[in-house]
Structure 1
Amino acid sequence: MRYKVAGMDCPSCATKIETALGRLPGVTDVGVSYHSQVLRLRVDETGTSRDRVEGTIRSLGFQVEDMDLIQVVAEGEAEVDAGGAAREAWWKAPKARLTGLIAVLAAAGFAISALVPALGDGALVPAALVGLWVFGRRAVALARAGSPFSIEMLMSIATLGALIIGETAEASVVVLLFSAGELLEGIAAGSARSGIQALAALVPRTALVIEGGVAREVPASRLEIGQVTLVRPGDRVPADGEVVDGESDVDESPVTGESVPVPKRVGSPVIAGGINATGALRVRVTRAAADNTIARIIHLVEEAQASKSPTARFIERFSARYTPFVILAAVLTVVVPPLGFGADWHTWIYRGLALLLIGCPCALVLSTPAAITSGIAAGARRGLLIKGGAALETIGKVRAVAFDKTGTLTLGRPRVTDLVPLSGTGRALLGLAAAVESGSSHPLARAIVERAADEGVPVRPARAQEALPGRAARAVVGGKLVEVGSPRHAIERCGAASIPADSVAALEDDGKTVVVVVADGVPIGLLALRDEPRPGALAGIAALGQLGVRAVMLTGDNARTGAAIGRALGVEVKAGLLPKDKLTEIAALKSAAPVAMVGDGINDGPALAAADVGIAMGGGTDVALETADAALLGNRVGGVAELVALSRATMTNIHQNVAVALGLKAVFLVTTVLGVTDLWLAILADTGATVLVTLNALRLLRRPGVSAGS
Structure 2
Amino acid sequence: MQDETRIGRAADGDSRTLRYHVTGMDCPSCVAKVETALGRLSGVEDISLNYHSQMLRFRLDEAATSRDRVDGAIRSLGFGFEDMDLRIVQEGQADAGLDSAAAAEQAWLATPKARLTGFIGLLVGIGFLMSWLVPAIEDLALMPAALVGLAVFGRRAFLLARLGTPFSIEMLMSVAAAGALVIGETAEASVVILLFAVGELLEGVAAGRARSGIKALAALVPRTALLVDGAVAREVPASRLEVGQVVLVRPGDRVPADGEVVDGMSDIDESPVTGESVPVPKQPGSPVFAGGINATGVLRVRVTRSAADNTIARIIHMVEEAQASKAPTARFIERFSARYTPFVIIVALLTILLPPLAFGADWQTWIYRGLALLLIGCPCALVLSTPAAITSGIAAGARRGLLIKGGAALEAIGRVRAVAFDKTGTLTEGRPQVTDLVPITGTERTLLALAAAVENGSSHPLARAILARAETDGVPLRPARDQRTVPGRAAQAVVTGRLVEVGSPRHAVERCGPDILPDDRVAALEDAGKSVAVVMTDGKPIGLIGIRDEPRADAAQAVSSLGNLGIRSVMLTGDNARTGRAVGRALGIEVKAGLLPEDKLREVAVLKAAAPVAMVGDGINDGPALAAADVGIAMGGGTDVALETADAALLGNRVGGVADLVALSRATLANIRQNVAMALGLKAVFLVTTLFGITDLWLAILADTGATVIVTLNALRLLRAGSHQPGR
Smaller-chain TM-score bracket: over 0.9
Residue 491 of structure 1: which of 486, 495, 509 is its match?
Answer: 509
Confirm or deny that 1:351 pairs with 2:369. yes
Confirm or deny that 1:190 pairs with 2:202. no
Query: SS at 1:197's partner residue?
Result: helix
In structure 1, the partner of 2:700 is 682
Q: CA deviation at 1:44?
A: 2.6
Residue 672 of structure 2: which of 641, 654, 675 is its match?
Answer: 654
Q: What CA distance in whole angstroms lies between the structure 2 residues aligned with 1:524 and 1:385?
A: 45
Confirm or deny that 1:19 pairs with 2:46. no
In structure 2, the partner of 1:389 is 407
Q: How does 1:240-319 map to 2 (within 5 A)?
A: 240-319=258-337
Given residue 631 of structure 1, which amino acid in structure 2 is its aligned partner?
A
Change (3 A) 1:623 1:214: farther
Given residue 294 of structure 1, which amino acid in structure 2 is its aligned partner?
I
Query: SS at 2:703's partner residue?
Result: helix
Change (3 A) 1:192 1:705: closer
Deviates more, 1:108-117 or 1:150-159: 108-117
In structure 2, the partner of 1:66 is 83
Aligned-residue identity in percent: 77
Given residue 186 of structure 1, which amino acid in structure 2 is its aligned partner?
G
Q: What CA distance in whole angstroms lies between the structure 1 residues aligned with 2:252 and 2:589?
A: 40
Confirm or deny that 1:439 pairs with 2:457. yes
Q: How does 1:326-337 map to 2 (within 5 A)?
A: 326-337=344-355
Confirm or deny that 1:416 pairs with 2:437. no
Q: CA deviation at 1:693?
A: 0.4
Q: CA deviation at 1:28?
A: 2.2
Residue 172 of structure 1: which of 190, 198, 215 is its match?
Answer: 190
Deviates more, 1:231-240 or 1:101-110: 231-240
Query: SS at 2:571's partner residue?
Result: strand
Confirm or deny that 1:404 pairs with 2:387. no
Given residue 691 of structure 1, which amino acid in structure 2 is its aligned partner?
V
Q: CA deviation at 1:86?
A: 5.2
CA contact (8 A) 1:338 1:344 kept: yes
Given residue 592 of structure 2, which amino acid in structure 1 is its aligned partner?
K
Change (3 A) 1:518 1:619: closer
In structure 1, the partner of 2:255 is 237
Confirm or deny that 1:57 pairs with 2:74. yes
In structure 2, the partner of 1:529 is 547
Q: What CA distance in whole angstroms lies between the structure 2 residues aligned with 1:150 and 1:567?
A: 61
Residue 596 of structure 1: which of 605, 614, 617 is its match?
Answer: 614
Confirm or deny that 1:555 pairs with 2:573. yes
Change (3 A) 1:78 1:459: closer
CA contact (8 A) 2:128 2:138 kept: no
In structure 2, the partner of 1:103 is 121
CA contact (8 A) 1:483 1:518 kept: yes
In structure 1, the partner of 2:557 is 539
Confirm or deny that 1:35 pairs with 2:59. no
Q: CA deviation at 1:594?
A: 0.6
Given residue 311 of structure 2, which amino acid in structure 1 is its aligned partner?
T
- 1:624-651 CA-partner distances (Å, limit 9, x unpaired): 6544111111000011100000000001
Change (3 A) 1:706 1:83: closer
Confirm or deny that 1:577 pairs with 2:556. no
Q: What CA distance in whole angstroms lies between the structure 1 residues aligned with 2:642 and 2:213?
A: 22
- 1:207-257 CA-partner distances (Å, limit 9, x unpaired): 211111112222222222221111112211111111111111111001100
In structure 1, the partner of 2:8 is none
In structure 1, the partner of 2:662 is 644
Residue 2 of structure 1: which of 19, 30, 33 is its match?
Answer: 19
Q: What CA distance in whole angstroms lies between the structure 1 residues aligned with 2:160 and 2:554?
A: 54
In structure 2, the partner of 1:500 is 518
Q: How does 1:104-253 map to 2 (within 5 A)?
A: 104-253=122-271
Can you give the 5+ residue segments of structure 2 that lack an aligned partner in the other structure?
Answer: 1-17
Q: What CA distance in whole angstroms lies between the structure 2 residues aligned with 1:270 and 1:163?
A: 65
Given residue 610 of structure 2, which amino acid in structure 1 is its aligned partner?
A
Q: How many residues in Structure 1 have an aligned counterpart in Structure 2?
A: 706
Q: CA deviation at 1:343?
A: 0.8
CA contact (8 A) 2:400 2:725 kept: no
CA contact (8 A) 1:255 1:383 kept: yes
Q: CA deviation at 1:116?
A: 2.0
Q: CA deviation at 1:314?
A: 0.3
Residue 48 of structure 1: which of 65, 81, 101 is its match?
Answer: 65
Change (3 A) 1:485 1:80: closer
Deviates more, 1:490-499 or 1:557-566: 490-499
Residue 364 of structure 1: which of 379, 382, 388 is its match?
Answer: 382
Given residue 372 of structure 1, which amino acid in structure 2 is its aligned partner?
I
Query: SS at 1:497's partner residue?
Result: coil
Q: What CA distance in whole angstroms lies between the structure 2 residues aligned with 1:510 and 1:380?
A: 38
Residue 472 of structure 1: which of 490, 493, 504 is its match?
Answer: 490
Deviates more, 1:605-614 or 1:32-41: 32-41
Query: SS at 2:457's partner residue?
Result: coil
Query: SS at 1:441's partner residue?
Result: coil
Query: SS at 2:621's partner residue?
Result: coil
Can you give the 5+ residue segments of structure 1 that lack an aligned partner in the other structure?
Answer: none
Q: CA deviation at 1:495?
A: 1.7
Residue 696 of structure 1: which of 690, 714, 722 is its match?
Answer: 714
TM-score where L is the length of structure 1: 0.97
Given residue 50 of structure 2, which amino acid in structure 1 is its aligned partner?
S
Q: CA deviation at 1:709?
A: 6.5
In structure 1, the partner of 2:647 is 629
- 1:574-599 CA-partner distances (Å, limit 9, x unpaired): 10000000000000000011111111
Q: What CA distance in whole angstroms lies between the structure 1 residues aligned with 2:369 and 2:480?
A: 86
Q: What CA distance in whole angstroms lies between the structure 2 residues aligned with 1:708 and 1:124?
A: 55
Query: SS at 1:112's partner residue?
Result: helix
Query: SS at 1:703's partner residue?
Result: helix
Q: CA deviation at 1:568?
A: 1.0
- 1:300-339 CA-partner distances (Å, limit 9, x unpaired): 1111111110000000000000000000000011111111
CA contact (8 A) 2:627 2:645 kept: no
CA contact (8 A) 2:157 2:166 kept: yes
Query: SS at 2:704's partner residue?
Result: helix
CA contact (8 A) 2:47 2:57 kept: yes
Deviates more, 1:77-86 or 1:396-405: 77-86
Q: CA deviation at 1:82?
A: 6.0
CA contact (8 A) 2:20 2:84 kept: yes
Deviates more, 1:201-210 or 1:6-15: 201-210
Q: CA deviation at 1:288?
A: 2.0
CA contact (8 A) 2:619 2:639 kept: no
- 1:134-156 CA-partner distances (Å, limit 9, x unpaired): 11111111111111000000000
Q: What CA distance in whole angstroms lies between the structure 2 residues aligned with 1:286 and 1:708?
A: 28
- 1:345-384 CA-partner distances (Å, limit 9, x unpaired): 1111111100000000000000000000000010001111
- 1:59-105 CA-partner distances (Å, limit 9, x unpaired): 1111111124999x9xxx99964657554422111111001010010
Change (3 A) 1:264 1:598: same
RMSD: 1.9
Q: What CA distance in whole angstroms lies between the structure 2 residues aligned with 1:21 and 1:620?
A: 42
Q: What CA distance in whole angstroms lies between the structure 2 residues aligned with 1:401 and 1:620?
A: 18
CA contact (8 A) 1:601 1:618 kept: no
Q: What CA distance in whole angstroms lies between the structure 2 residues aligned with 1:504 and 1:88?
A: 65
CA contact (8 A) 1:664 1:689 kept: yes
Q: What CA distance in whole angstroms lies between the structure 2 residues aligned with 1:474 and 1:653?
A: 53
